[in-house]
Copies of this chain bind each other. A is one copy, B any other.
Amino acid sequence: MKDVVSACPIEEAMRVLSGRWPTLLLYYLKEGPKRFSDLRRDNPTVSHRMLTLELRKLEQAGIVRRTDHPGYPRRVDYDLTPAGRRLLPLIDALGDWWEETITIRRTPQPLSEAA
């Protein structure tokens, strides 16, 4: 991800949210604070490296907050910041939109204008 400076907020937002993991992590963090290993269990196909990288990215973007509790067994948890929580409805809306378009694709019908 090149550090291209852009004036376009959509482009900036997509730089953070693009890819397979960011929205999925947000989705799981919706349930409340989670530990690193919880998130790996939630999504078994993410590698530990990717998970740290993505979490750092989300942290830097102000979407996720990382808390490192000192002590044993080591314990770090991640939860959504207010900004992250404000993002949730948008992500859900995206899911709804997709389901809608899928349904339409499955239902033979002329593509009519609904301007």
Contact = CB atoms under 8 A, between A and B. Distances in A.
A102 B19 contact: no
A12 B20 CA distance: 9
A13 interface: yes
Interface size class of A (residues with CB under 8 A): 35 or more
Contacts of A102: 9, 12
A90 B97 contact: yes
| Chain A binding surface, main DSSP class | helix
Interface in A48-88: 61-63, 65, 81-83, 85-87
Contacts of A12: 98, 102
Contact of A95 (B9, B87, B95): B9
Given A62-B105, A65-B111, A112-B82, A98 B13 contact: yes
Interface of A: 8-15, 17-20, 23-24, 27, 61-63, 65, 81-83, 85-87, 90-102, 104-105, 111-115
